[in-house]
């Protein structure tokens, strides 16, 4: 929010809290329900437990469900919110939410809590939620909603409009109407515009678009996001192997998927979970320590390697000056290559063959390595008055960058083919690995030219 909007929002929040504390339900409801659902959600998240309990007594389950749809389903407090409500009230809140959003919340609860809430819901709502809970996480089935509008191919547009009006209140999206055959298979799609502008006596099958882009219920959520992005859809239908329509995935859910995947990739590149910014220092330290300890032992390998070349450094102490320069530059090159590789893997249709990707990074590393190597050769040559030393530093840097580029590209590709998340090949890991390889390359080259700069 801009500064002025922030001030207005702060005033609104304080006023609403005063009304809530004064136990003036009529005034509070009037002011609260004038807010957008997202604003209602933000106000709710600013309350403490006693204030939330007061809010539950004033609002209906339907009104709470409306703004619960706008709370991030990954919010760690969701189980706490449901636990502090009366069980039947919590069940009604979930029932009033869109099914996919309610299921996302239920996934954070233990099985007894899920069963307790589902048994207090209307039978059809409970069945819909149970069916979605069975799908694997991060698949199309896990993020789809069952609240869509479907019509028969052999009915008129007039009857289709009647069905639309009957179902619109409960549907998550009404811009697309899906057309089914007598065996409940998806055979076409009609837009809301088509229903409105055509003669109402026209049959649905006469004007429906038979080329329907759909996704399989088992498809990965990233590929679904790519489909919606490529075609610019507001929603995409989800079908089973028999082309029966099971649900739809809307663009708002895809935005959440993109955010989650971006945060996951960034977490992998950083070697730390960047999504939870509110955890206490102790928990944050516990989560970060495993990576740091692992990298510490890998770093010890680099230290041991330097120690192995101690006699070389003692003969030409000038070599020690450039160790951090070479390792740092190689680490930066490896991290760049890693970021590109992870990004490329996120878009399979842009992915070339594994060998071709490696070849691309090899050429890129060769070009950047040569330019960087020549630059440092000249700098060191003039600085230390020894172009032989400059050549050693430049050649070592060129080779280190090439190897780092290949590692940054090869490791994510290999992990993806082994079934692991390529983002786990984090930036710190690649940097530490680059340190090890660049030190080995540096001292191996320096050994051949040691007599040229002994005593420098």
pLDDT of residue 136: 83
What would the CATH number be for the domain defined by 150-258? Answer: 3.10.580.10
CB atoms within 10 A of CB 204: 24
Cα 434 from Cα 332, distance rounded (Å): 9
Per-residue tens of pLDDT for the chain, all 456 residues: 456 777 778 888 888 999 888 878 889 999 999 999 999 999 999 999 999 999 999 999 999 999 998 888 777 788 899 999 999 999 999 999 988 888 888 888 888 888 999 999 998 888 888 888 888 878 888 888 888 889 899 999 999 898 888 888 878 888 889 999 888 899 999 988 888 899 999 999 999 999 999 999 999 888 888 888 888 888 899 999 889 998 898 888 888 777 766 666 555 555 555 555 555 677 767 766 776 777 787 778 888 888 888 888 888 888 888 888 998 888 888 888 877 777 676 655 545 566 777 788 888 889 999 999 999 999 998 998 888 889 999 999 999 999 988 888 887 777 667 666 555 556 677 777 888 889 999 998 988 887 665 544
CB 264 within 8 A of CB 421: yes
pLDDT of residue 269: 54
pLDDT of residue 374: 95
Q: What is the pTM of this model?
A: 0.60
150-258 and 281-453: identical CATH topology? no
Q: Answer whether CATH 1.25.60.10 is correct for domain 3-134.
A: yes
Both tokens of 321, joined, read 């000056």
pLDDT of residue 456: 47
The CATH superfamily holding the domain 281-453 is: SLC41 divalent cation transporters, integral membrane domain (1.10.357.20)
pLDDT of residue 394: 92
Across-strand partners of 188?
179
Model confidence pLDDT, tens digit, residues 38-49: 999 999 999 999
Map out the domains of the chain as residue ranges.
3-134, 150-258, 281-453
| Sign, Cα dihedral of 381, 384, 389, 395 | negative
Cα 65 from Cα 85, distance rounded (Å): 13
pLDDT of residue 347: 58
CB atoms within 10 A of CB 347: 13
* CA-wise closest residue to 342 among 276, 427, 218: 427
CB 95 within 8 A of CB 65: yes
């Amino acid at each position: 929010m801009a500064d002025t909007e922030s001030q207005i929002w702060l005033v609104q929040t304080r006023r609403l809290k005063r009304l809530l504390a004064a136990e003036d339900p009529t005034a509070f409801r009037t002011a609260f329900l004038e807010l957008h659902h997202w604003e209602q959600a933000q106000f709710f998240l600013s309350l403490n437990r006693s204030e939330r309990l007061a809010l539950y007594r004033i609002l209906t389950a339907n009104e709470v469900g409306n703004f619960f749809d706008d709370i991030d389903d990954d919010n760690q407090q969701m189980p706490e919110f449901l636990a502090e409500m009366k069980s039947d009230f919590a069940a009604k809140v979930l029932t009033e939410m869109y099914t996919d959003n309610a299921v996302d919340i239920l996934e954070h609860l233990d099985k007894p809590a899920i069963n307790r809430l589902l048994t207090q819901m209307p039978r059809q709502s409970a069945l819909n939620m149970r069916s979605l809970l069975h799908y694997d996480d991060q698949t199309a089935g896990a993020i789809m909603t069952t609240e869509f509008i479907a019509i028969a191919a052999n009915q008129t547009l007039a009857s289709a409009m009647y069905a639309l009006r009957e179902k619109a209140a409960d549907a998550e999206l009404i811009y697309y109407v899906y057309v089914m055959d007598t065996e409940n298979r998806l055979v076409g799609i009609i837009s809301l515009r088509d229903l409105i502008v055509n003669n109402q006596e026209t049959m649905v099958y006469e004007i429906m678009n038979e080329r329907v882009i759909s996704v399989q219920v088992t498809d990965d959520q990233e590929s679904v996001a790519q489909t919606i992005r490529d075609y610019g859809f507001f929603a995409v239908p989800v079908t089973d192997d028999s082309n029966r329509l099971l649900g739809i995935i809307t663009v708002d859910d895809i935005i959440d998927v993109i955010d989650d995947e971006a945060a996951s990739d960034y977490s992998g590149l950083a070697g730390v979970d960047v999504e939870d910014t509110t955890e206490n220092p102790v928990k944050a330290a516990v989560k970060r320590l495993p990576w740091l300890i692992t990298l510490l032992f890998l770093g010890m390998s680099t230290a041991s390697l330097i120690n192995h070349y101690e006699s070389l450094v003692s003969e030409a102490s000038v070599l020690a000056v450039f160790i951090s320069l070479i390792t740092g530059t190689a680490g930066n090159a490896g991290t760049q290559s890693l970021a590109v590789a992870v990004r490329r893997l996120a878009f399979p249709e842009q992915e070339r063959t594994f060998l071709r990707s490696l070849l691309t990074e090899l050429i890129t590393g060769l070009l950047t390595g040569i330019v960087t190597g020549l630059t440092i050769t000249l700098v060191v040559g003039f600085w230390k008055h020894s172009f032989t030393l400059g050549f050693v530093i430049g050649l070592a840097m060129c080779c280190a960058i090439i190897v780092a580029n290949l590692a940054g590209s090869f490791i994510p590709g290999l992990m993806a083919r082994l079934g692991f998340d390529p983002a786990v090949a984090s930036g710190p890991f690649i940097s530490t690995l680059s340190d090890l390889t660049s030190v080995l390359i540096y001292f191996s080259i320096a050994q051949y030219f040691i007599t040229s700069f002994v005593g420098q």
